[in-house]
């Protein structure tokens, strides 16, 4: 058996954790030949609940799950971590925008970034899920100066999956027939789900994009507002679908994206497509199993450029806000 991979999950007593941890124990995160060790980080008031989750994980007798440890100390949680999944944060309620969480949740990610910097394994990769995910990832990465910035990412895979489903439904094909979806910008209402480069049932998505009334009036708002629609319907934010997107993101990062396709992730910008350096911005990306690469050379239509720029402007504003709070 190969050496176990240490996976640290924050917010382990929360709703996403409750779905994610069991799928991780079952081997869906890193594949069926990789044993995992789980470290669960919670705030002191929620440690007892996390211990109950750990008891249930034991009761599953997962063959690939070697060990589960619960702690409220970030240094202990991230000690030797190879994979860090930063889920723990307060979710938004009805009527809130994700940016409303900036101050409350931002304060969590500085100390966690420092603990990752000091304690995690040399090969650590970090996925930030807690909202506002892009700016929280920026805070964590900025507080971990010894960890290369490309090892941090922010989750826009749920938006990506949502966009694939909406597009498939509109085109009358199964979702497995959609390739090359792209989410640009922020995991927020300004995100830009881009169909121009998709291939839908063998047909170029640019043909579907000609219907700008559908594109601007239906597709983009449905994807961008899906999180709010779920909060409205369920009374709480998306949980199982978010856990599913975490599994997809990490699996593609470690095992590679399928040949001829790509996915979307928030990554540290180094100037691709005119995005300012040092923003945690969503791009179309591939992985060879070692790390993300931004898909280069896509032609950006004026319709898309305007929307990508609006989302970048929001990311810049959020960066200014976290700077003003002293978080980066
Ligand atoms: N990026 C995405 O696509 C996406 C999708 C869905 C949800 N989210 C976000 O994920 C986060 C978690 O959602 P949830 O439904 O699991 O929320 P939840 O309220 O059910 O659970 C959050 C957990 O985090 C814990 N926590 C808070 N501060 C912590 C800290 N400093 N260290 C460790 N744990 C801490 C809480 O005690 C709680 O158990 C929210 O911010 C939500 O908005 C992001
Ligand atoms: O929308 C939210 O606040 C939760 C999450 O980010 C989502 O997209 O479902």
Residue of 88, 89, 237, 239 best suited for mutating to test ligand 2, as the one with most atoms within 8 Å of CB: 237
In contact, 184 and 311? CB cutoff 8 Å: yes
CA dihedral sign of residues 286, 290, 291, 295: negative
In contact, 30 and 250? CB cutoff 8 Å: yes
199 pLDDT more than 90: yes
Residues 223-233, buried b or exposed e (16+ Cβ, 10 A)? bbebbbebbee
Specify the residue with its C-alpha closest to ligand 2, atom 9: 227
pLDDT of residue 90: 87
pLDDT of residue 1: 62
Kindly list the protein residues whose Cβ atom lies closer than 6 A to any atom of ligand 1. 10-11, 13-17, 41-43, 46, 87-92, 108, 129-131, 133, 155, 158, 187, 237-239, 242
- Please state the pTM of the whole predicted model: 0.98
Each domain of the chain, given as residue ranges in start order, spans 5-154, 157-319
Mean pLDDT of 268-294: 98
In contact, 43 and 108? CB cutoff 8 Å: no
326 exposure class (CB count in 10 Å sphere: 0-12, 13-18, 19+): exposed
What is the Cα–Cα distance from 46 to 186, expressed in whole angstroms?
30
- Two tokens at 57? 């994980």
96 pLDDT more than 80: yes
CATH of domain 5-154: 3.40.50.720
pLDDT tens string 12-48: 999 999 999 999 999 999 999 999 999 999 999 999 9
Mean pLDDT of 165-192: 98
- Reported as type and span, the H/E element at residue 71 is strand 65-71
Name residues whose C-beta falls within 8 Å of residue 97's C-beta, 6 or more positions apart in sequence. 188, 189
Residues 133-166, buried b or exposed e (16+ Cβ, 10 A)? bbbbbbbbbbbbeebebebbbbbbbbbbbbbbeb
- Across the strands, what pairs with 193? 183
Q: In this structure, how many other beta carbons lie within 10 angstroms of the beta carbon of residue 244?
A: 19
Q: In this structure, how many other beta carbons lie within 10 angstroms of the beta carbon of residue 253?
A: 24
Bond prior to 75 in cis (omega within 30° of 0): no
Give the full edge-to-edge strand order of the sheet including 152-154.
65-71, 36-41, 5-10, 83-86, 125-128, 152-154, 263-268, 280-287, 292-294
- Two tokens at 38? 């789980």
Ligand 2 atom with least separation from CA of 92: 3
Kindly list the protein residues whose Cβ atom lies closer than 6 A to any atom of ligand 2. 91-92, 98, 131, 158, 227, 230, 237-238
CA 154 to chain centre: 4
164 pLDDT more than 80: yes
What is the Cα–Cα distance from 276 to 284, expressed in whole angstroms?
16
- Residue 250's nearest CA partner among 111, 130, 153 is 153
What is the Cα–Cα distance from 101 to 303, expressed in whole angstroms?
30
Query: What CATH number does domain 157-319 carry, 3.40.50.1370, 3.40.50.150, 3.90.110.10, 3.10.20.90?
Result: 3.90.110.10
76 pLDDT more than 80: yes
- Across the strands, what pairs with 182? 194
Percent of the chain, pLDDT > 70? Answer: 100
User: Is 183 in a helix, a strand, or coil?
Assistant: strand
125 pLDDT more than 90: yes
pLDDT tens string 200-210: 999 999 999 99
- Reported as type and span, the H/E element at residue 280 is strand 280-287
Report how far ligand 1's centroid is from the alpha carbon of 127 (Å): 13
Give me the torsion for CA of 123, 143, 93, 236, rounded to 10°.
10
CA 253 to chain centre: 11
325 exposure class (CB count in 10 Å sphere: 0-12, 13-18, 19+): middle
């Amino acid at each position: 058996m190969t050496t176990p991979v240490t996976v640290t999950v924050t917010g382990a007593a929360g709703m996403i954790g409750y779905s994610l941890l069991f799928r991780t124990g079952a081997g869906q995160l890193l594949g069926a030949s990789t044993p995992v060790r789980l470290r669960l980080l919670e705030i002191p008031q929620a440690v007892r609940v996390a211990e109950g989750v750990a008891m249930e994980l034991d009761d599953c007798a997962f063959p690939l799950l070697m060990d589960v440890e619960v702690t409220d100390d970030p240094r202990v949680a991230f000690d030797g971590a190879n994979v860090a999944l930063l889920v723990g944060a307060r979710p938004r309620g009805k009527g809130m925008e994700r940016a409303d969480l900036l101050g409350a949740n931002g304060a969590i990610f500085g100390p966690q970034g420092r603990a990752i910097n000091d304690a995690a394994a040399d090969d650590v990769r970090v996925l930030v899920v807690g909202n506002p995910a892009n700016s929280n990832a920026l805070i964590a990465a900025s507080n971990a100066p010894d960890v290369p910035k490309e090892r941090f990412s922010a989750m826009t895979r749920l938006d990506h999956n949502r966009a694939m489903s909406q597009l498939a439904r509109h085109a009358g094909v199964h979702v497995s027939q959609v390739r090359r979806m792209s989410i640009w910008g922020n995991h927020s209402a300004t995100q830009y789900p881009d169909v121009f480069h998709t291939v839908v049932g063998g047909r170029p998505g640019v043909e579907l994009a000609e219907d700008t009334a559908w594109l601007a009036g239906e597709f983009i708002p449905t994807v961008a507002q899906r999180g709010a629609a779920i909060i409205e319907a369920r009374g709480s934010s998306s949980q199982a679908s978010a856990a599913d997107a975490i599994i997809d993101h990490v699996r593609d990062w470690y095992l590679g994206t399928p040949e001829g396709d790509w996915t979307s992730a928030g990554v540290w910008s180094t100037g691709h497509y005119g995005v300012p350096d040092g923003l945690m911005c969503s791009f179309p990306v591939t992985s060879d199993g070692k790390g993300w690469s931004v898909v280069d050379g896509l032609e950006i239509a004026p319709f898309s450029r305007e929307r990508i720029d609006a989302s970048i402007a929001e990311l810049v504003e959020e960066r200014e806000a976290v700077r003003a709070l002293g978080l980066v």
